[in-house]
Structure 1
Amino acid sequence: MIAPRVNAAGRMDDASKAVQLFIAETNEEALQYAELLHSDNTDRKEADSSITTEALELIAQNQHWAERTSTVVYQPHWHKGVVGIVASRLIEHHYRPTVVLTESGHYVAGSARSVPGFNLYEAIHDAVNI
């Protein structure tokens, strides 16, 4: 029960809250940090759900995208901490290699997931070295 909340702290904000929970000297202090972690986990769930819905809508709105053998989606406002989860969710719907990108500072950042039998890293590496 605690693992997803500890994980969410690093995804959504600052993982030091999880450390503070584990080294808290009083039950009251530990409870305060546990509540913060629970809030981060709630935020993570909401971001995961809304970004997944938005990405699925982007794909559905473009018939050409729906017919592709891979998926690449991008929105600058998506939360970087959940794009990997979103990529996994998109594979559940479309079962194809998937890359989900967002802005992170002055860079585009993202996460990729693949399906068995397709090495996404090698495919990207080969495409860059053409």
Structure 2
Amino acid sequence: MQLLKQPPTTKAPAEMFTGDVWFDVVYRGEEPSRARANMVKFAPGARTAWHSHGLGQTLYIVEGIALIQSRGGEILEAHPGDVIWTPPGEEHWHGAAPGRFMSHLALWEADEVSWLEHVTEDEYQGPRTGTRCC
């Protein structure tokens, strides 16, 4: 067992994100491990670009309201404690709702991520499902 030294918090690159996004690497396994875990913090309205993961991705919503969309689908609104699974190769984006900060724990395997174009404002403002009231 060992206590792992954590790298400093990193600002997410503008090529892959819209708005202010910061992440902390929680775990980056070394071969033969392919495990990856990041705590990601989004300012209101901030989001990823469209992307996909070669082996899929799991998001655990920690705080705030998350918006997640698969290409061609409606926007899913998720809340703290919700878990979202995106299968391998599925193009998607995720980020914070307007007016709310959001943090999630992102879990994936390997670094096979295909980054695509930015999410447009029209896409971001699209219809939502999973909205909770009160």
- TM-score, normalised via structure 1 length: 0.26
Q: Which has the higher helix share?
A: 1
- TM-score, normalised via structure 2 length: 0.26
